[in-house]
Amino acid sequence: MRSKVSIVGAGNVGATTAQRVYELGYADVVLVDVVDDLPQGKSLDMLESGPVLGIDSSITGSNGYEETANSDLVIITAGIARRPGMSRDDLLLTNMKITGDVTRQVVEQSPNCIIMAVTNPLDAMCQNIYESSGFPRNRVFGMAGVLDTSRFRTFIAQELDVSVEDVQAYVLGGHGDDMVPLVRYTTVAGIPISDLLSQEDIDRLVLRTRQGGGEIVALLKQGSAFYAPAASVTQMVEAVLLDKKRILPCCVYLEGEYGINGLCVGVPVKLGANGVEDIIEIKLTEDERASLGKSAAAVQELMDVMRGSGG
């Protein structure tokens, strides 16, 4: 029996994620959006690729939530996208209302599901979804660290002209300008990056990683990244549906881990069939811990704005 995955939001991120998950072949997909006929049209187009790709899974579109009933995993991408000159913070209050409303309808239809947050600003929306759902923290987490880490690995591989497969890295903290690429844990075929690049080059790549989303927004002029985000979501989907026990950086509600309490922040977790099955606490230097604390403080500022608005 195939798993059931519902994706809320049929924009670029949601639709591309739906395509990637559908093409895995072992999950039936429901694509939901408020725009009349949009998810139906996109899902039908994807379904008609099935004979070419040899996929027997189903994918359907809906403007309501009844079709999502009894989903195993729900991915929330719904919200307005970042535009040039707009920070992730600018998205906050609009997307807070959208994700809160979506979450309540998702929970009504699938009370036992796992929810993955993708809407920006990610960390605040993840916490909004977590609090709106009433679910235990292992069943609500956000995608950002996988994407930020993928960008960091891409830039390192380009700089050194090596395979991306040989570059290992972690980016922790909030999904914003204060994210924390862990240079000390970054290696190429097991070789510390500090043995291969100068500190100046490393600092440049770290900065580019932190500004990675904005770089794409500036180039696109309209809209924001969606191919790499969708690939990152799909890696996490596989970890859950196939119970792969992957160690991946995910946004999760912390209860004292890393000295952070009551806040959703990106840290390494074990991701499997039960969602977040363990939070991996790695040893950080004082500087790394301070950077993570600064990133968490930026997330806390967003939460304070949301709570001050009555959200």
Q: Which residues carry out catalysis? A: 175
Residues 6+ apart with CB under 8 A from 18: 7, 10, 29, 31, 42, 43, 46, 59
Query: How many of the other CB atoms lie within 10 Å of CB of 23?
Result: 18
Please give the single-letter amino acid code of residue 276: V
In order of 33, 113, 228, the CA distances from 225 in angstroms are 19, 27, 7
For tokens 């059931």, name the residue.
4
SS3 at position 83: coil
* Amino acid in position 208: R
Handedness of CA 82, 83, 86, 90 (dihedral sign): negative
DSSP state of 82: P
Separation of CA 219 from chain center: 21
Alpha carbons 151 and 120: distance in angstroms, whole number:
17
Q: Token digits for 304?
A: 């304070």
Amino acid at 62: S
d(C-alpha 233, C-alpha 245), whole Å: 15
Pairing of strands 73-76, 3-8: parallel
Do 5 and 27 touch, CB atoms closer than 8 A?
Answer: yes
Percentages helix, strand, coil for the chain (3-state, rounded to 5) are: 50, 20, 30
Length of the chain: 311
- Distance separating alpha carbons of residues 268 and 274, to the nearest angstrom: 16
